[in-house]
Every structure is written in C-alpha cells, then in structure tokens.
C-alpha cells in the first residue's frame, strides 16, 4: 500500500469512468461542462508526471441491455453500446483540448477517421511522450463491459492500478443511498467482492484483476480533487486487492 507524499504513488494508471460521469444533472446525454470538469481533474494528475489512460463508458447514451429490452439482439445492441462509448471518447478528447491537455483517442472498433486503432506499443509510446490515452469501444466485442476492457487494457499496457471512478465514494456493505446502516470497506479482497456479489465491477473484470494481481481503487470522481488525492496515495475510497 502506497504512503502519502506530494509525489505520485503510481507511474501509470488506468482510470475507468462511466458514461454517467458526463451526465451532470441530466438523465441522459452529455453535459459538456461536466466533461470539461472531468478533463480538468485528469490533466491535474497528468501534470504530476503520471501516465494516464482512460477507459470511457457509454451508459449515459446507450447500453446493450437497453437494446435487448426492446428486442434488439445482443450482438447488435452491444455494438450500439460500444459506439456510444466512441461518442463519449470524442467528447472527452474535445474536453481535454479545452483544458490544454494533449490526448490520443484509441478505439477498439476500427473507425480510423475518428480514432486510432489499438496498437499496444504505440499506445505505450504515446504515454511516454506525455499524451493522455482515451480508450473507447471497450475491447471491441459484444458480451463484455467497459469494466472488463479496463482490466484487460490496464494489464496489457502495464498500469500499476485501476482507478474505478463511481458516484459513491467506495465499496459499501449495501447501497448507502437506500440503506443508512451501510458501512464502507477501506479495503476488500477480490474473492470477497465476488462472494458477496458487491457491485464494484462485473465478475469477469474482478477475476481478470484477481488472476493478475491488478489492484483497483474505487472512489468518487469530482469530490474535492479525489483523483489527485488517489494518485498521491491518500487513503480514500476502497482498495480491492
């Protein structure tokens, strides 16, 4: 476990942000002011010298589940969900431009006039040159989530940790919004997340992290500079190990 200093505790991080982090007060779509605020937080930690890759979700626009509910087959619905993440990726890059951060958008679905294809060594080189990476389209295949894609890419490009940014400030015994007796875990083992069925990341993502000892820090984005605090090794959120 890292100790707190003014120096970053990590060299390379993968930040998973859900599409919902672009929602602001709306229930669907993109609040660009919100996207700029997120971009500002990302730039702040990048300016500390940390390599940053972001896996962006698409839930603010479309999820595969929404499609299957209205009768679309899962393969097609998930493709729609993945393209939703590409839209968010474009928005995040535009937001990073606004705050003066250099970035590269890398899509797992080939869409060359919009984003680069994923080439592992090229992505690592971009980060070494000081560019923030935006991953979109998950891993490019249906039946997966952007959480699993976050775990897979974090391993592939050698990240020290996955930062899973959520609306709540960590992992609780039950939903703290509806259950006032819910307690927050300071840390929890992968196996206990799975056994207790806690909604941290989906089981595939947790298993992949567990098999490869990739730690996950779950915390709330946008609350008092939490991303920077996490990068500096402060004991915020919940650590899954």
| Interface ranges with ligand UDP (CB under 6 A) | 18-20, 57-59, 63-64, 78, 81-82, 84-85, 138-139, 141-142, 144-146, 149
In angstroms, give the least distance from the CB of 135 to ligand UDP.
10
Tokens of 159: 């990240």
* Comparison of 141 and 187: residue with beta carbon closer to ligand UDP: 141
In angstroms, give the least distance from the CB of 121 to ligand UDP.
21
Other C-beta atoms within 10 Å of 94: how many?
Answer: 16
Give burial (CB, 10 Å; 0-12/13-18/19+) of 165: buried
Q: Bin 142: left if φ > 0, else alpha if -120 < ψ < 50, else beta.
A: beta
Determine phi and psi for 183, rounding to 5 degrees.
-115, 145
Tokens of 237: 């959120």
* Comparison of 142 and 233: residue with beta carbon closer to ligand UDP: 142
In angstroms, give the least distance from the CB of 57 to ligand UDP.
2
- From CA 133, how far away is CA 102, in angstroms rounded? 9
* Comparison of 156 and 234: residue with beta carbon closer to ligand UDP: 156
* Comparison of 96 and 150: residue with beta carbon closer to ligand UDP: 150
In angstroms, give the least distance from the CB of 18 to ligand UDP.
3
């Amino acid at each position: 476990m890292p100790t707190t200093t003014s120096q970053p505790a990590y060299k390379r991080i993968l930040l998973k942000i859900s599409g919902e982090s672009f929602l602001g007060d709306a229930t669907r779509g993109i609040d660009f002011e919100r996207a700029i605020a997120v971009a500002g937080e990302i730039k702040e930690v990048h300016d500390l010298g940390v390599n940053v890759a972001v896996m962006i979700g698409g839930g603010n626009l479309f999820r595969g589940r929404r499609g299957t509910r209205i009768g679309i087959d899962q393969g097609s619905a998930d493709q729609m969900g993945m393209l939703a993440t590409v839209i968010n990726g474009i928005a995040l890059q535009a937001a990073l431009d606004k705050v003066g951060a250099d970035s590269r958008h890398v899509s797992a679905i080939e869409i060359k006039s919009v984003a680069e294809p994923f080439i592992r060594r090229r992505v690592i080189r971009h980060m070494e040159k000081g560019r923030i990476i935006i991953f979109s389209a998950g891993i490019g295949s249906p039946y997966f989530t952007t959480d699993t894609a976050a775990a897979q890419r974090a391993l592939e490009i050698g990240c020290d940790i996955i930062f899973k940014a959520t609306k709540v400030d960590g992992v609780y015994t039950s939903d703290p919004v509806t259950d006032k007796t819910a307690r927050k875990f300071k840390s929890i083992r992968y196996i206990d997340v799975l056994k207790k069925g806690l909604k941290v990341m989906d089981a595939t993502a947790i298993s992949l992290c567990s098999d490869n000892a990739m730690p996950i820090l779950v915390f709330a984005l946008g609350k008092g500079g939490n991303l920077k605090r996490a990068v500096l090794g402060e004991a915020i959120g919940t650590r899954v190990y």
